[in-house]
Amino acid sequence: MRKLVNLFMILSMITMSFIFVIPLVSLLWQLAEKAAPRLSLDLITSVGGQLGESGGLLQAIIGTLVMVTLAAVVAVPVGILTALALSESRSRLFKTPVEFSVDLLIGAPSIIIGIFVYFLLVVPFRQYSALAGSCALAIIIFPIIVKTSVEIFRLFPMSVKQAGLALGLKRYQVSLYVVIWGSRKELLPGILNSLARASGETAPLLFTAFGSPFIIRGLLEPTSAMPLQIFHYATSPYPEWNELAWSGSFLLVSFIFFIQICSRILTRTKQG
């Protein structure tokens, strides 16, 4: 009897853990089936069409690229410096609250970040803007970057730091040139992952970047982004737009998977 229970439980646990294959396969299948017949160059070279008409996604692609880049430019250095401060400091009084707030920021719902930035940057300027959108994205990826970088700095070999000091470098030089520059290859996958995350975020952009049918001309204008455009098209009643949404999803997922694969390869070559 005990043996039977054992066998049953083990088999069912293994089966249960593979149930996750089903949604993934179904999702990828849908993407391929719905998007493949419509993939064309027009999709990435032209702007969206009139109401209900099909068109391209160029304005969304540009919007996403601009906002993600801008978010990364702010969040990556700030995140890495915060991580450095956390790994160098020995005072619990300083470390605990900072670490805790990083954890809690990671756990904050992204739509709340959207509301926050709405009051921070949209209300004062009286306009939805690409700037506000990228600020929201930056706040979302910043704690993720801190979290991954801290682990890397913690594992950084003490002997290398001491070697730097022994050569007459000042402490800050060791931190900047030895620790950060020396672990650039380890930091990169974490950064890439956070960029992938940022390019798929929709909720915080709803009332910051807002969306727009045109290519942006300035940072203080509302802009479209891939996930926003997909949401807009997918929930619209026009079949042409629904199809366009699938093509957009296909592009977005391919982009995200591409980044993920790059970061995988980087991690692997480092270990090998």
Partner 1 sequence: MQLQDKIFQKSLSLVALLAPLLLIGLFVLLGMHSAPIWEQKGIAFVFSSDWNPVMESFGAWPFIQGTLLTALLALFFALPFCLAAALSINLLLPSRVAIVLRSLFDILASVPSIIYGQWALVVLVPIIRDQVSPFLQGNPILGKLPLFQGTSYGLSAFTAAIVLAFMISPLITALMTEIFKLVPVVQRQGFLSLGTTYWEMIRHVYIKPNLQGLTAAASLGLSRALGETMAVAMVIGNFPNESWSVLEPSSTIASVLANEYGEVSDPLHLSALVGLGLILFLITFVLNFIARMILRLRRQV
Q: Which of residues 82-141 bind partner 1 (CB under 8 A)?
A: 82, 84-86, 88-89, 94, 97-98, 100-105, 107-113, 115-116, 118-120, 139
Answer yes or no whether residue 13 interacts with partner 1 by CB under 8 A. Answer: yes
Per rule CB under 8 A, is residue 235 in the interface with partner 1? yes
By CB under 8 A, name the one of 201, 209, 212, 223 that touches partner 1: 201
Q: How far is the CB of 192 from partner 1 (least distance, A)?
A: 11
Report which of 146, 122, 145, 144 is spatially closest to residue 134, judged by C-alpha positions. 122
Q: How far is the CB of 163 from partner 1 (least distance, A)?
A: 18
Which amino acid appears at position 79 of this protein? Answer: G
CB of 103 vs partner 1, minimal distance in Å: 5
Asked if residue 41 binds partner 1 (CB under 8 A), the reply is no
197 interacts with partner 1 by CB under 8 A: yes
Give CA separation, 249 vs 47, 162, 218, in Å. 16, 49, 26
Overall size of the chain counted in residues? 272
- Bridge partner list, 210: 223
**Region at 210 (left for phi over 0; alpha for psi -120 to 50; beta for the rest):** left
Q: Could you say which residues in the range 137-196 bind partner 1, by CB under 8 A?
A: 139, 142-143, 146, 170-172, 175, 193, 196
Q: Could you give the 3-state DSSP secondary structure of residue 236?
A: coil
Residue type, position 128, single letter: Y
Q: Is 240 in the site for partner 1 (CB under 8 A)?
A: no
User: Of these, 10, 36, 155, 265, which contacts partner 1 (CB under 8 A)?
Assistant: 10
- Distance, first Cα to last Cα, the chain: 47
Using CB under 8 A, pick the residue from 200, 214, 215, 266 that binds partner 1.
200
Give CA 53 to chain center in angstroms: 30
